[in-house]
Structure 1
Amino acid sequence: MKLEANQQSPKFSAKNENNKQVSLDDFKDKFVILYFYPKDMTKGCSIEANDFTSLLDEFNKLNAVIIGVSPDSVESHQKFIKKDNLKHTLLSDSDNTISSAFGAYGKKNMYGREYMGIIRSTFIIKNNIILEAFYNVKATNHAKKVLESLKKHI
């Protein structure tokens, strides 16, 4: 089930790279850029994460926080952050509860083979309302597109 603009956001709570519980409710009155990606330290995911980090100051000026979510462990997130010098939060969704709630986990097809996995997706959320939903995004230049979209909601 895909989510759309103006819908209530699913609530979530998960451990971040510092093993600290993070919830959507922690960010009242802020824009939350919640992006789902398949795997730490892979080419496309590194491109996307680095793009968000490079634009972090721009997002901060607009009162937005960036949160990446993948099924990887807290330890894997720590390595990813260190390796790529990432500056934003990463949440561990090892059982795909959060990604499923956002419609970011489902059937994928690669080279004719069907399997279940993370559908690269991003959401702009404020006060528990989804302002924008992007599904099946391409990693390259996606962060810039999200930033431009966010500016429309300021």
Structure 2
Amino acid sequence: MVNHLTFSLGNDTYQITQNQSTSDSWLKCPSGSIANVAFCVPCSIGHYLSNEECLPCQVGTYQLLTGQTFCFVCPTGTTTEGISSVSIDDCNKSIATDDTGTVFTILGLAISIVVLFTIIMFMVVLIIICRRKCFKTQLNVTNNSAETVSLERVQSSLS
């Protein structure tokens, strides 16, 4: 493919044809621009320069200026409908923010702790009730002599 550049100067028309054996590597373009034939062309709005090519700003970002090397990020809680957005006004789609997620995480953790505490307290109460009612403690008193009394603890299960 042969690239041509045609322009007029006064009454004369000039045509420049790119030599196929040369490349654009000799052309040093400013930041945010790419070499195109024999000219530096800035990346258009909605795009940014990365690795010597103009790429579209991704969802959630925008670029309102030409010749840039980055895209602006939409404000918290908003995003764009698609790629190549050109204005902060394109950040019109609402999204859940990390703050909301953090609130739900903390709330879930608090509820989990309350439920766990309730289960533990329920088990403690069951153990106390079971110790009092499940085993009947009897004391057998035996009088061996006038001064000696022995106590014997007998546990039996209730039926």
* TM score, norm. by length of structure 1: 0.18
* TM score, norm. by length of structure 2: 0.18
Larger helix percent:
1
Asked which structure has the greater RCO (Cα within 8 Å, sep 6+), the reply is 1
> Larger C-alpha radius of gyration, 1 or 2?
2
